[in-house]
Chain A
Amino acid sequence: GALVYQYPRRTICKSGTSMRMECQAVGFQATSVAWYRQSPQKTFELIALSTVNSAIKYEQNFTQEKFPISHPNLSFSSMTVLNAYLEDRGLYLCGATTGDERLFFGHGTKLSVL
């Protein structure tokens, strides 16, 4: 079956520092990876969509300078939250797709910022 491993599950970082989260697709080729954030009391917002061999498309309010993403092959993607502050806390979710419309999600990375 298709699985997505996302790690770390939880992380705490000091304000102004950076943290990186990773997403591993198992059992399928992740041609596209979407990164979402769920801030407290909010729904999941799309940060960016990354497709192998294409430019990464960031949504409004999210930038590459703040959330750099790497998607080097069909099984791995990572995203870094640079200079994290209180407003960056939340649950970050990666979703990987083979190219059909289903997204297989990781368990999420819960980010707390002190």
Chain B
Amino acid sequence: AQKVIQVWSTTSRQEGEKLTLDCSYKTSQVLYHLFWYKHLLSGEMVLLIRQMPSTIAIERSGRYSVVFQKSRKSISLVISTLQPDDSGKYFCALWEPNSAGNKLTFGIGTRVLVRP
């Protein structure tokens, strides 16, 4: 069963619009973290947001925010005022501590196309 679920594999929006990317997750851990990454065509994996149990770190300043609903195990990435440069693939990831070390599990990713 998937631990990190991103429902939309592809989506497109017009420049200037707001985009919300949904992600839900499954975990029995108490101390877990959630991440949003953007995977660029160059291969670079850029960390955007780190959501900790009670605080959030915006790793890349800009137009990113999250809607975190812990009781529903849901975290959505919101990108406001879309620009063509926002096109790319966005991954939600769940970090869980375990005896073997930190484990990061990725969702399937959502490809975003921003039309000028």
Contact = CB atoms under 8 A, between A and B. Distances in A.
Interface string B43-75: 111010010100000010000000000000000
B33 A101 contact: yes
A102 B103 contact: no
Interface residues of B, number: 23
A101 B103 contact: no
Contacts of B116: none
A101 B43 contact: no
Contact of B104 (A34, A42, A57): A34
B108 A43 contact: yes
B95 A107 contact: no
B74 to A, nearest CB: 18
A74 B103 CA distance: 19
Name B's interface SS: strand
Given A46-B103, A103-B47, 11 more contacts: A32-B102, A44-B106, A46-B104, A49-B103, A51-B101, A54-B101, A101-B33, A102-B35, A102-B47, A105-B44, A108-B45
20 contacts: A9-B43, A34-B102, A36-B106, A43-B91, A43-B108, A46-B105, A49-B102, A49-B103, A51-B101, A57-B100, A57-B101, A97-B102, A101-B50, A101-B102, A102-B59, A103-B47, A104-B47, A105-B45, A107-B43, A108-B43
